[in-house]
Amino acid sequence: MNFFLSISKYLSLVKFAHTVFALPFALIGFFLGTVDTSNNAYFRLFVLVLLCMVFARNAAMSFNRYIDRNIDIKNPRTSSREIPSGILNPTAVLFFVIFNITGFIVTTYFINNLCFFLSPVALIVVLGYSFTKRFTFFCHIVLGMGLALAPIGAYIAVTGHFALNPVLYSFAVLFWVSGFDIIYALQDINFDKSQKLQSIPVRMGIKKSLWISLLLHLFTVAIIIYTGINIHFGLLYWIGTAIFIFLLFYQHLIVKPSDLSRVNLAFASMNGFASVIFGAFVIAELIFNM
């Protein structure tokens, strides 16, 4: 019983449910790779890609909680998190970070040489994000870069090389995540100012930040439409794209400069649903019609 209780604490620490943001795009990259190669070890690679996703995200999230523990305890919104509230010991969390970093690197070794050699680069990006809000308001872009590694990383796992289409999906993820992270950061704008932390809302204010977020999401839409045309996708892809676009822009309708009460709804629910639905339709297109 204590074992499962401990597991639940760490799952809460890393917000495991938020894996839905990047995982569907990783699977898109994976299935794009299966279309572009004759590699037959798909099940083995599928398991390894999932393990890489879990290890990388666990490392990034737990490291972020560890680095931010002294900030989180001052913020009423985050003071109940596992480290500030005393649910988890900082040293134990640091060991959890090291365990997941090791697991990620070892897993890439069993995928292919390119994934293994690039694993430190990926870790620098996903772990480095935790420091960025201390010195640059481009922290949202760095977070987007971390999640953007998912589609191209999964594609490389299958094929062993880069290609245009998964790179395009990586850029789509970069702009999408950066955009919704700006919306998420709106709820901490006053606290961040008091602690001299950097973000686009702190630098630009609420109204301009929402316009920047919208612009980034327009870039996302342009990329997924262009990629669909470039690959000659069929009906399933465009149904998924239409739903994704609707959910993407719906969050901009419910979050207003004068009313930030639905930021969490926009951040978690809308983007989670958008990613899962889009991923499901794209993968179905790749499986059944390519």
Give the model's pLDDT for residue 20.
78
**101 touches 123 (CB < 8 A):** yes
Residue 1 has a pLDDT of: 53
Q: Is the dihedral of CA 227, 230, 235, 236 positive or negative?
A: negative
Q: Report pLDDT for 264.
A: 83
Kindly report the CATH class assigned to 2-289: mainly alpha
Residue 29 near residue 169, CB atoms below 8 Å: yes
Please tell me the pTM assigned to this model.
Answer: 0.95
Mean pLDDT per 10-residue segment, the chain (290 residues): 70 80 94 83 91 95 97 96 95 96 98 97 97 97 97 96 97 97 96 97 97 98 98 97 96 91 82 94 90
Task: Name the DSSP letter for residue 16.
Answer: G
pLDDT of residue 154: 97
Q: Kindly report the number of other CB atoms within 10 A of residue 8's CB atom.
A: 11
C-alpha–C-alpha distance, residues 146 and 274, integer Å: 19
Q: Can you spell out the DSSP letters for 140-162?
A: HHHHHHHHHHHHHHHHHHHHSS-
Separation between Cα atoms, residue 201 and residue 188, nearest integer Å: 9
